[in-house]
Amino acid sequence: MAIRSEPITINLGPQHPSTHGVFRMRVTFDGETIIDVEPIFGYLHRGSEKLAEERTYTQVVTLTDRMDYVSSMLNNQGYILAVEKLCDINPKPRGVWLRMIASELQRIASHLVAIGFLIQDLGAWGTPLTYAMREREKILQMFEMLCGARITNSYLRPGGVFMDAPSVFWDVLDSFIASFPKSIDELEKLITSNEIIFSRTKGVAVLSSKDAIDASITGPILRSTGVDWDLRKRDSYDYYDDVEFDIPIHEAGDNYARYLLRVQEIRESLKIVEQCKKNIQPGLVRPHHDEVPDLLKPPSGDCYVAIEGSKGELGFYLVSDGSIAPYRWHVRSSSLINLTLLKDMLVGTLFGDLFVTFGSIDINMGEVDR
C-alpha cells in the first residue's frame, strides 16, 4: 500500500550552487516526489535594455557580452546583425568569416559548459567537468588572441569585427581543429554509454514537441523533441548558406537527448569553423570610417533580427529615432523562454532529478534577468 506523506515546501536558491546562478525555486514535495514548482526570477536584474538607451550603438556591444556571458560572441553577432539591418550596412567578407569562426567556437565553448555542469549535477565529482573546461580554455585563449579578452569579448562591430586575427591565431586554430575531435571522443567515453548516466537521464523530464512549440522553446531543447528547426538553415544569415553542416535531431525529449544533441552539435560547429577557415580571404575586416562612422545615426525605424544562439533563438529588436543611441532595445533571450516549461518537466520526478533537469535546460541568469 502506498504511503502518502505530508507535503513540504522548500526554498532552493537564490544562493544554491546547483541553481546555475541566482535563481530561486519554491518546490513542494510529497516525500521525494515533486508535486509543484514555482520559479522565481529577478535577483540578477541589471536593466541592460534600459542602459542601452544611453549608449551609442557600438557601446551597446558591451552590454550584450554580459547577458549570456558564456556565449558572448553569439550575443555580439545577433546584435550586430540587427544594427547592420537598421543602418543598411554591408559587412566586409573577411569580417563575416571571422565572426562566424568566433561565433561557432563560442557555441562549442557554451555547449562544453552545459555538458560539464550537467554531469557535475549528476554527482560525477568533477572529472568530466575538468575535461570540458580544459577544451573550453583553448577556445578562450584563442579569443584572447582575437580581441584581448576571454569572456566579455566585445569583438564584433557593425560591418565586421574590431580587428583582424594575428598570424599566431591561425596556427593555434589549426591545432585545435586537428586535436579537438579526439578530446570529444574522450569525453564521450566517460559519459555517452555510461549506465549511470542512462539510469539518471533516459526517460526523465520528457518534453513533447507540441508542448515545446506551444511554449516557443527553441534551440537544442526543441531539436531534442524531434523538431528540425535551426535558424542557420531556416533563416540563414552571414555566410551560413555557403557552408555544409547537419542539424542533429532526437525525438526522446528527455535529459539524455538534450545532452547527446549538444555533443553532436559541437562536432558540427567544428566542421563549420574548418570551412570558414578555408573560405576566408585577405581583405578588410570592417568598412572604413567614411563608410561606417563610429557614431552611427540610423534613420528612424525599427527592426528585429534573430540568430541561432547556443541556447536557442536569440533575437534583438531595435528602434531608432535617428539619434546616436537606440530609442528602444529589447532582447528575446532563449534562456528565459526555455524556462517556460520547467514546472511541467519537474512535476512527477524525484528530488534527485531536479538539478539534473535544470542543468539540461542550460540557462544563464544574466540573459534571463537582463
Residue 1 has pLDDT above 60, yes or no: no
Predicted confidence at residue 223, as pLDDT, reads: 97
Which three cell numbers mark 56? 551609442
DSSP state letters, 286-334 = S--TTTS-SS--PPSEEEEEEEE-SSSEEEEEEEE-SSSS-SEEEEE-H
In CATH, what number does 48-368 get? 1.10.645.10
Cβ of 327: how many Cβ atoms within 10 Å? Answer: 14
Q: How confident is the model at residue 246 (pLDDT cuts 50, 70, 90)?
A: very high
Residue 148 gets which letter from DSSP? S
DSSP state letters, 53-68 = GGS-TTTTHHHHHTTS
Predicted confidence at residue 20, as pLDDT, reads: 66
By C-alpha distance, which of 255, 249, 315 is closest to 85? Answer: 315
By C-alpha distance, which of 120, 101, 97 is closest to 109? Answer: 101
Rounded to whole angstroms, the Cα distance separating 151 from 32 reads 39
Q: 545532452: which residue's cell? A: 259
Residue 51, φ and ψ in degrees, nearest 5: -60, -35
Rounded to whole angstroms, the Cα distance separating 223 from 333 reads 17
Domain positions in the chain: 48-368
Residue 201 has pLDDT above 90, yes or no: yes
Q: pLDDT digits over 316-352, tens only?
A: 999 999 999 999 999 999 999 999 999 999 999 999 8
Rounded to whole angstroms, the Cα distance separating 63 from 172 reads 29
Q: How confident is the model at residue 19 (pLDDT cuts 50, 70, 90)?
A: low
SS3 label, residue 185: helix
Instruction: Please state the rounded mean pLDDT for residues 8-27.
Output: 80
Instruction: Please state the rounded mean pLDDT for residues 155-179.
Output: 97
Share of the chain above pLDDT 70, in %: 97
Instruction: Please state the rounded mean pLDDT for residues 240-265.
Output: 96
Q: Which amino acid is at 51?
A: L
Q: How confident is the model at residue 289 (pLDDT cuts 50, 70, 90)?
A: confident
SS3 label, residue 157: strand
pTM: 0.95
Rama region for 322: left / alpha / beta (φ>0; ψ in -120 to 50; rest): left
Instruction: Please state the rounded mean pLDDT for residues 120-127.
Output: 79
Q: Which amino acid is at 111?
A: H
Q: Order across the sheet with 301-308: list the strands.
A: 301-308, 313-320, 328-332
